[in-house]
Structure 1
Amino acid sequence: MPDRVIEVRNLSVAYHDQIVLEQISFVVNSHTLVGIIGPNGAGKSTLIKAIMGLVPTLSGEVRVFNQPVSKMRKQIAYVPQRNVLDQDFPVLVEDVVLMGRYPHLRWWQRPTAKDREIAKQCLEQVGMLDFSKRQIGELSGGQQQRVFLARALAQEADLFFLDEPFAGIDMTSEQIIINLLRKLRDQGKTLFVVHHDLSKVEEYFDQIALLNRQLVGYGNKEDVFQVDLISKAYNGKIAFVGDRGGTLVVSG
């Protein structure tokens, strides 16, 4: 795969005549863990959906591995927010993960023994193998998120999009997930993570997309995670406590 994984040019999106993303442009290379940050309503989830072609766009172009997104869907794995899960839907953990193998199957094919073994290995990577026969709705939020990541791993993709994977989960699950994301990056994968906890940004990510409908900044965390840029993105509702190792606090 080429080093240039994603190229976004002048991307704009509107809902009901309301602009939610305006003229977004950036380039991302492989071996990169990208955090997408910004205030509520900034368009963070919309951005990753627009890149994946899941929402209509007003203008702009997205290239993935120098191809249109429609030709590269097998290479793209998506972990949506947990609130899209129907807690009452009767599906086993192992079957959720097995869904990650479907892009590799013809419509008439059933999962093979190899597919089941891959799903098993992915559950083991996220520490959820012992829960494979449980109903997904019986798990805690952190456990569910680890299962959804296992499903993405089972797809054997090169590009990952995760929407708020750390929201409302326990610290054990959060540490397992971030360690796995780092491992995937080191294997050459590219990962986009919508994230809201500013205190973890410098620790977790290589590059940052700082967003508030427009792209306030994109690049290495040392260049973008700056008080002036963050204050601009959050419309001034932010304070920086202490020196460079201090804490960013969003107010109001």
Structure 2
Amino acid sequence: MTALRSPVPVPETADLPAGPTPRRVKAPGWLDLRLVLGALLVLGSVLLGARVISAADATVPVWSAARDLAAGTELTAEDLVVVDVRLDDAASAYLSGSVRPAGSVLSRAVGAGELLPRTALEEPEDLVQVSLPVQAAFVPPGLARGRLIDVYAVADPAAGATGQAVGSVSLVVSAAPVQATSGNSEGVLSTPSSTVQVVVRVPSDEAAGVLAAIAGRPLVVVAHDSVDTSAAAAERARAGGAGRPSASPSASPAPAPAPAPVPAPAPAPAPAGPAG
């Protein structure tokens, strides 16, 4: 028979030394300092970029001259255009595009493309518009609104001018801006007999004198290259000084001195004859 063995007793496990207690890792909260600083940096970058972009596109609408306009021109909607420009602190010196300048009068000349300054506008004075009938042959081609012109009246007895010397010329209107024109002043259909109505503005107290000066006399329009009245006046002064004669027109020029008589050459001596 097989002998039964008694079970071996299992020794009790020895007590292990106690180790450090593990710490639980906490999830980052919303008030973490690093998270707050990162959000502030991102927000500051976005705001700074938006400000730079808006500053680069900080334009304002202002009025600009569509063509050369002389001093004294009464502005209309066709004379100006609205442009967007960047003026920074100088924006208040120019007329905003939200203001309607129609009916205002220029106190100085404004060139094409020039921004319209507020100082160039003045209140309408006591001026009236006068329509001058001019033959198409005596109107410069391309005469347009805002051009600076002089108007001369010439004597023409056949046209009914009485009491005028033949060939006399008088200045009727000086350095006046053209307000409007009507009629065919150029083209294949224009003829020397066609009439162009040139409208200018003159002081009301001078209108009667202008009408009296042009009554029954043909008119000639002279256009200036510049719309600046000061430059036009200086040009007229130079032209007047250059064309003014030094003596009276009725004085006849002094005759040239007669040339001195040339002495006749002495006769050549006769050749001697042969000795006798």
TM-score of the aligned structures, taking structure 1 as reference length: 0.20
More helix by share: 1
More strand by share: 1
Larger Cα-atom Rg: 2
TM-score of the aligned structures, taking structure 2 as reference length: 0.19
Higher normalized contact order (CA 8 Å, seq sep 6+, divided by chain length): 1
